[in-house]
Amino acid sequence: MNNRKKTFFDAIWEFFASVKVGITIIVLLAIGSILGTIYPQTNAIPSPNPDFYYNDTYGKLGDLYYRMGLADTFNSWWYLTLVLMLFISLIIVSIDRGVPLYKSLKRQPVARKLIAIQADRLYTKAEGGDAEAKLEALAQQLKKRRYKVRREDGALLAEKGRLARFGAYVIHLGLIITILGVFSRLIPGWYYTDMIWLKEGETKPVGNLGFSVQNNGFTLEFYDQAQTRAKKFETDAVIYENGQATAKKHLAVNDYLTYKHTNIYQNSYDPQPMFKTGTIELLDTRNNNKSLGTFVIDFNNPQREYKVGDYTVTMANYFPDVKVDPDKGVFTNSRDPYNPGIQFDITGPDQMEPARQWMIPLAGPFVKQMLGKDYRFDLQFKDVDLFHMTGLKIERDLGWWPIVFPGLVIALCGLVLAFYFQHRRVWARLEEGVLHIGANTNKHWIGITGELNKVLVPLGIEPVSQKRKEEPQQS
Amino acid sequence: MMQLSSVFFGTAFFSYLAATILYVVGLTGRKMKAQSAALATFWTKWGYIVVIIGVITQALAIATRGIYGGYTPVSNMFEYMSFWAFTIMLAFVIINAFYKVPVLGAFVAPIGLVILAYASVFPRDSKPLIPALQSYWLNIHVTTAALGEGILTISFAAGLMYLLVTTDLTKNSRTAKFLEFTVYLFFALLSFVLTSLGFRAAGYAQIVSGTMGDQLYHLPPFIGPTGAELGTAAHFLGVPLPLFDAPGWMHAADAGMQFNTILITIIASLVLYAILRLIARKPLSMVIQKWVSGLDSDMLDELSYRAIAIGYPVFTLGALVFAMIWAQEAWGSYWSWDPKETWALITWLYYTAYLHFRLQRGWEGKKTAWMAVLGFVVILFLLVGVNLVISGLHSYAKA
């Protein structure tokens, strides 16, 4: 490696090892995240046209927000760059400080310099008596308190909870793994997400994952009569692979199905119902609305012709989701029977010439008037069966269980180590018949003071007390 | 069960009120007479006992409401905010047992009290859970997150006390101004609660029509919805209302109503502040400073930090990790950048920055105390602001 390259590498290393840089990244991420919550992000808006949505809903400011790319903050190049910088910083900081700390703790001498022991925040000495025996007793007592005790002649080092010193680096490690897990979504095949809308009985393939999902019945219940507060919505789902039903589950919110590492969730339902079947009565308007009989229409698959008594009802035109526009005429919005409109030709014994007329059950007075009203017959719904489409969410995220989740657990362990555990050390040294005892902890001085005095007092050694005020600093 | 819960709830409320009075009396009385030192400890000791009674009765209130509704009552604003007040007082009871700083109670008890009162501004009926919330994770995630937020609130109280102890309020410094403003903000929240509850208790209701539909006001409609006819909706103290309408660019149908609430709160809080200021004849922060005079500032600094050191892991567990696990179970994605979870992340980043400043850059004293105080504002926004200002996947919590 030549000199110039080394300097460059060093510069990068120093940059990311700096605490200032680390804190700056954290603060910038926080500020960036705040920007991303001002207006809903594009993935959360109820419109497929963000170009218009922000302007229409939030005015000029919303439009500016969208144009600046803030409507997709969390996928923007600068946000992802910050996350990447955080990732690099976490790795470099942990190596830069964790490794030397590990080495220094590993190499620490048992016999510490007397002057260092005397300078300890907790310090006491025992003069007279059998100092050697006291040292021995001290070692035994500390061992009982789960200290790791090492001895050299006339010197003692007792230590416990060394791992607590690495708490911060364990947190960093957990976060590194978590971020890796998040970005594992970029590996081809590791991440797939989709929303599937299914009518009753309908089957649709799940992406190109090689299986299909079928809605075998959807139930919707409300707490109240006005149907404002949903109690439950659930789908009987069946998975088909190669024509075989391979799995089934009664899906509910919070209760999903896992099939071949792919999760299928009950996510939502279409609040607007569709027409399933309807029983329709044919009435003769010229004869006091006398009933001429009934017939049943399947709106997903209507017949061409229906026999009603002596009359024949022929379907001339079918618009499953009819829209009547003064300028554009009559057309259908979709192939889903949300608002069916049917044009019938009706013939019978007293009606040789087909009487053409509309039937639009959800039509308002305006549409009715536009399409004509003085019909020969009247078509009345006697009974109608509606249904809701179920919305299933498909989520295949191979990084969650093996990477993200363990990363979070490790980070939590690190938090516990860093904040709830302490690294305690006790040194003792026998010098000219005097036993010098010093102690140190990385936090919670009251704890170690109490613990040490429980050991010292029975041995007839003067208890320790803190020299300075408690300082929480971690070293 | 629901009535029993209300009784317990009321008892808890009055316990916190009594504790606040006991603490404040104990502290203001402290310096007045020579023999009052012992008396002060008597008052604050009883304050602590009353707080414990309040915490126990509120636990009973939560439990009975839970039995009635069949779920841990943390599913709407009333339930959640009162639960947060509960965790604040609980955290105080535990931390005070270790640190023995009775003065802390004079700050925490009013905070808990006002948050509890604020909770009762929201509709109090227990509604059955919508499908998204029908999961045991509701209990685990929300309660743990609230506990973390409760502990972090203690850090705010201690940080505020630190600033009061160490700032010379007689000098016109920026810190002094900010402290006075912080005290004012407390009274602003109090005014909001008092006006809301006052007009509600009086049964005030007024429908005002605007171009975007009718709005039901529970406060006098000084500001009408966009397009409302001025001076025709109501009279308040002889003044025909509304005085003016919300401008059209505010868009939302209830913008006028929200604007109106803010205006009334500001007016009421300024009146309340002016009255108290006239009685005290000096900045209110100076009055409060007297309570904390003589306290060990290093101890307060340490206490503020310790509360964050304890609360931060709890918050991480409850508000982020449990949240992610539940999101994975219910929504199919552990992270959706929903405003609530993004703000939980922002709060987490904020306290992460605090810990790095403190442990790595050696910040302590004034700087970190200010960070702890501002942290409360961040939490407040996470819990209240997000629900009221921003909508998202958590929007069921709006009412």
Block means of pLDDT (10 residues each) for chain B, 399 residues, are 91 95 80 54 88 97 92 91 96 90 89 93 87 92 97 96 91 89 92 90 84 81 80 77 74 73 90 94 89 84 93 97 94 90 97 95 91 96 83 48
* A54 contacts on B by Cβ (under 8 Å): none
**Looking at A342, A363, A384, which one is the last position of a domain?**
A384
For residue A420, give the chain B residue with the closest CA: B310
Cβ atoms of residues A275 and A384 within 8 Å: yes
Chain B residues 294-313 with CB within 8 Å of chain A: 298, 302, 305-306, 309-310, 312-313
Q: Does A401 touch chain B (CB under 8 A)?
A: no
Amino acid in position B52: I
- Residue B161, SS3? helix
Same domain for A203 and A303, yes or no, is no
* B350 contacts on A by Cβ (under 8 Å): 30
pLDDT confidence of residue B368? 95
Q: Does B324 touch chain A (CB under 8 A)?
A: yes
Q: Does B316 touch chain A (CB under 8 A)?
A: yes
* B325 contacts on A by Cβ (under 8 Å): 405
**Looking at A351, A384, A417, which one is the last position of a domain?**
A384
For residue B323, give the chain A residue with the closest CA: A408
Cβ atoms of residues A177 and A90 within 8 Å: no
Q: Å from B367 to nearest chain A CA? A: 15
pLDDT confidence of residue B391? 56
* A400 contacts on B by Cβ (under 8 Å): 328, 334
Q: Å from A234 to nearest chain B CA? A: 10
Would A15 be classed as within a structural domain? yes
In this complex, do A59 and B249 lie within 8 Å of one another by their Cβ atoms? yes
* A411 contacts on B by Cβ (under 8 Å): 316, 321
Same domain for A298 and A264, yes or no, is no
Please give the C-alpha separations between residue A282 and each of A311, A344, A376, in angstroms, as whole numbers: 9, 12, 11
pLDDT tens per residue, range B280-308? 999 999 988 888 877 888 889 999 999 99
Would A157 be classed as within a structural domain? no
pLDDT confidence of residue A471? 46
For residue A262, give the chain B residue with the closest CA: B332
Q: How do the domains of chain B map onto residue ranges? A: 1-128
Chain A residues 213-272 with CB within 8 Å of chain B: 223, 229-233, 252-254, 256, 263, 265-267
Instruction: Reply yes or no: is the peptide bond before residue B242 cis, omega within 30 of 0.
Output: yes
pLDDT tens per residue, range A386-410? 999 999 999 999 999 999 999 999 9
Chain B residues 348-387 with CB within 8 Å of chain A: 349-350, 352-353, 356-362, 386
Would A221 be classed as within a structural domain? yes
Helices B2-28, B36-69: axis angle to 10 degrees equals: 160
Question: Nearest 5°: phi and psi at B282?
Answer: -165, 165
Chain pair A-B, CB pairs under 8 angstroms: 132
Q: Å from A143 to nearest chain B CA? A: 28
pLDDT confidence of residue B150? 97
Would A132 be classed as within a structural domain? no
Would A319 be classed as within a structural domain? yes
Q: H or E element: which one contains A431?
A: strand A424-431
- In sequence order, the 6+-apart residues with CB closer than 8 A to the CB of B55 are B12, B86, B89, B90, B93
pLDDT confidence of residue A288? 85
Q: Does B392 touch chain A (CB under 8 A)?
A: yes
Question: Structurally, how many domains does chain A consist of?
Answer: 3
Q: Does B172 touch chain A (CB under 8 A)?
A: no
**Looking at A99, A124, A156, which one is the last position of a domain?**
A99
Would A19 be classed as within a structural domain? yes
Q: Does B253 touch chain A (CB under 8 A)?
A: no
Please give the residue range of the domain that contains residue A327.
274-384
pLDDT confidence of residue B279? 93
Low-confidence ranges of chain A (pLDDT < 70): 1-5, 372-373, 467-475
Distance CA A96, CA A102 (A): 11
Would A364 be classed as within a structural domain? yes
Strands A311-319 and A341-348: antiparallel
Same domain for A293 and A372, yes or no, is yes
Beta strands in B211-347 (DSSP E): 213-217, 223-224, 234-236, 239-241, 244-245
ipTM of predicted complex: 0.90
Same domain for A283 and A263, yes or no, is no
Q: Does B325 touch chain A (CB under 8 A)?
A: yes
Same domain for A293 and A252, yes or no, is no
For A148-176, b/e burial (b = at least 16 CB within 10 A) is ebeeeeebbbbbbbbebbbbbbbbbbbbb
Cβ atoms of residues A292 and A284 within 8 Å: yes
Q: Å from A61 to nearest chain B CA? A: 10
- Closest partner residue to B356 (CB to CB) among A23, A40, A43 is A23
Distance CA A80, CA A352 (A): 73
In this complex, do B349 and A27 lie within 8 Å of one another by their Cβ atoms? yes
In this complex, do A267 and B345 lie within 8 Å of one another by their Cβ atoms? no
Would A215 be classed as within a structural domain? yes
Q: Å from A420 to nearest chain B CA? A: 8
pLDDT confidence of residue A446? 83
In this complex, do A419 and B346 lie within 8 Å of one another by their Cβ atoms? no
In this complex, do A33 and B331 lie within 8 Å of one another by their Cβ atoms? no
* A168 contacts on B by Cβ (under 8 Å): 359
- Residue A216, SS3? strand
Q: Å from B355 to nearest chain A CA? A: 10
